């Protein structure tokens, strides 16, 4: 039984052509989740199910930017921006990357031009009460991306009207600084529901040892998210088909997470549930004294699969955990190919919340020139190939078979070196302004 690239490619087609954009919390995302549930159930996973979780859903209905002497400038509203249906006006002021050294009284009441993502910079920017912000796209030849003003930044610091413009108009806009501009934006916000999809292959001899094999099935607001990450999800789902036939000594839990593109919402929800149950169970001193194990304790490893499917590409593996995880990748690559570059780092995806809870992880990615289109409307089905999927898929299949599914004893200890753990904590602190160990409520 071998990983079949054509089968995986058909899953990619269904997610990206049949469904299209799968922004978490939308009807399309729910439709994609149901397709994946039914697909894996058809391979004998009777427990295939949707795992719902709450999510904030921002959608932009209309946006407009007009500049004196330049006229209307095409733009895209940023998700999570403050609504400004009647428009705001002010002079254009260029503040480079929005660092505090570029801010001051000259920003008050102005439309700021910023050549960087807002993120936590929005705190310092809002302090000077600008009328609005225009984010300048820094990558040439791409349509402007509607990146979120992150959930945590919005809740902690507030927001303001913000749009994004293409790179090819940025220098013209900066050349018009000091001129009057008007920005209008109509957006909606509602509490919605998104869905992780999961199914489990019980272990034959070690069912209490759980290995999560996962990838995210959602896309950004802007496009179909083919390489990132319909292709990674397809690899996970084809591996589920293969191991249903091959079997595994320990339990393999296959998960298509959602909300990754909105800040790892689905995997944070999953990890928080495990942490909450773990915390409650361990309040019972008898449970601890008798060596009881919670579901979190039973999680031994995460295999995360993100950004796949390109034919012209190179392979990488990112390790958060014992060095043997990376050594096994190098050994298998040296024996049979393809070549992998191994990094000891916290990969920025759904592996991270479980690693923050103490579960080691290996993340597989395949990067090439077509990754340039990630998070844009250019990440289309035509970029993906059956051969590209098969290159990674067969390697990961053998990695799982050799080191996870077949051994009498899992060769990787459930431990994360201190420097890796610190890297994960800093990742959540700097990128998301979160500490996942502070409380367990959603």
pLDDT at position 156: 79
What tens-digit pLDDT sequence spans the chain (442 residues)?
Answer: 999 999 999 999 999 999 999 999 999 999 999 999 999 999 999 999 999 999 999 888 899 999 999 999 999 999 889 999 999 999 999 999 999 999 999 999 999 999 998 888 999 999 999 999 999 998 888 787 777 677 777 777 788 999 999 999 999 999 999 999 999 999 888 999 999 999 999 999 999 999 999 999 999 998 999 999 999 999 999 999 999 999 999 999 999 999 999 999 999 999 999 999 999 999 998 998 898 999 999 999 999 999 999 999 999 999 999 999 999 999 999 999 999 999 999 999 999 999 999 999 999 999 999 999 999 999 999 999 999 999 999 999 999 999 999 999 999 999 999 999 999 999 999 888 888 876 444 3
Contact 388, 313 (CB under 8 A): yes
Give span(s): CATH 3.50.30.30, the chain.
Answer: 69-178
Architecture of domain 5-57+192-432: 3-Layer(aba) Sandwich (3.40)
pLDDT at position 306: 98
pLDDT at position 148: 67
- Read off φ and ψ for residue 208, nearest 5 degrees: -80, -5
* Dist. CA 185–CA 76, nearest whole Å: 9
Q: What stretch of H or E contains 289?
A: helix 285-289
Q: What stretch of H or E contains 387?
A: helix 386-400
Architecture of domain 69-178: 3-Layer(bba) Sandwich (3.50)
pLDDT at position 35: 98
Give span(s): CATH 3.40.630.10, the chain.
Answer: 5-57+192-432
pLDDT at position 141: 81
Contact 249, 406 (CB under 8 A): yes
200: Cβ contacts below 8 Å, ≥ 6 apart: 45, 47, 251, 252, 253, 254
pLDDT at position 442: 38
pLDDT at position 440: 44
* Dist. CA 66–CA 393, nearest whole Å: 49
pLDDT at position 139: 85
388: Cβ contacts below 8 Å, ≥ 6 apart: 5, 231, 308, 309, 310, 311, 313, 366
Of the CA atoms within 13 Å of residue 144, those in its CB half-sphere come to 26
Contact 346, 352 (CB under 8 A): yes
């Amino acid at each position: 039984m071998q990983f079949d690239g054509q089968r995986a490619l058909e899953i990619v087609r269904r997610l990206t052509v049949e469904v299209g954009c799968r922004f978490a919390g939308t009807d399309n995302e729910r439709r994609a989740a149901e397709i994946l549930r039914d697909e894996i159930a058809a391979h004998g996973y009777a427990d295939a199910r949707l795992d719902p979780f709450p999510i904030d859903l921002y959608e932009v209905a209309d946006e407009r930017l007009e500049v004196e002497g330049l006229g209307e400038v095409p733009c895209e509203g940023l998700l999570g921006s403050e609504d400004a249906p009647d428009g705001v006006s002010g002079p254009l002021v260029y503040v480079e990357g929005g660092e505090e050294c570029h801010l001051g009284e000259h920003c008050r009441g102005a439309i700021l031009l910023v050549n960087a993502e807002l993120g936590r910079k929005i705190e310092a920017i809002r302090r000077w009460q600008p009328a609005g912000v225009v984010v300048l796209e820094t990558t040439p030849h791409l349509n402007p991306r509607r990146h979120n003003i992150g959930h945590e930044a919005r809740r902690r610091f507030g927001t303001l009207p913000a749009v994004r413009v293409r790179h090819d108009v940025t220098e013209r806009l900066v050349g018009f600084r000091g001129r009057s501009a008007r920005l209008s934006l109509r957006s909606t916000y509602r509490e919605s529901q998104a869905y992780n999809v999961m199914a489990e292959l019980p272990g034959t001899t070690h069912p209490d040892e759980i290995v999560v094999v996962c990838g995210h099935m959602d896309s950004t607001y802007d496009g179909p998210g083919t390489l990132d990450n319909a292709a990674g999800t397809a690899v996970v789902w084809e591996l589920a088909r293969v191991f249903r036939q091959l079997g595994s000594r320990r339990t393999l839990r296959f998960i298509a997470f959602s909300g990754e593109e909105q800040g790892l919402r689905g995997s944070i929800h999953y990890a928080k549930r495990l942490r909450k149950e773990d915390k409650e169970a361990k309040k019972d001193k008898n449970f601890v004294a008798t060596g009881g194990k919670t579901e979190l304790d039973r999680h031994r490893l995460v295999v995360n699969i993100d950004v796949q499917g390109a034919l012209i590409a190179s392979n990488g593996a990112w390790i958060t955990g014992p060095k043997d995880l990376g050594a096994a990748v190098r050994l298998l690559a040296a024996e049979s190919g393809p070549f992998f570059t191994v990094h000891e780092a916290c990969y920025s995806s759904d592996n991270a919340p479980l690693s923050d809870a103490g579960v080691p992880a290996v993340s597989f990615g395949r990067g090439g020139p077509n990754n340039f289109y990630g998070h844009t409307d250019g990440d289309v089905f035509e970029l993906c190939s059956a051969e590209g999927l098969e290159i990674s898929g067969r390697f990961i299949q053998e990695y799982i078979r050799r080191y996870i599914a077949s051994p009498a004893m899992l060769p990787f200890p459930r431990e994360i070196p201190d420097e890796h753990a610190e890297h994960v904590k800093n990742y959540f602190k700097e990128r998301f302004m979160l500490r996942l160990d502070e409380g367990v409520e959603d």
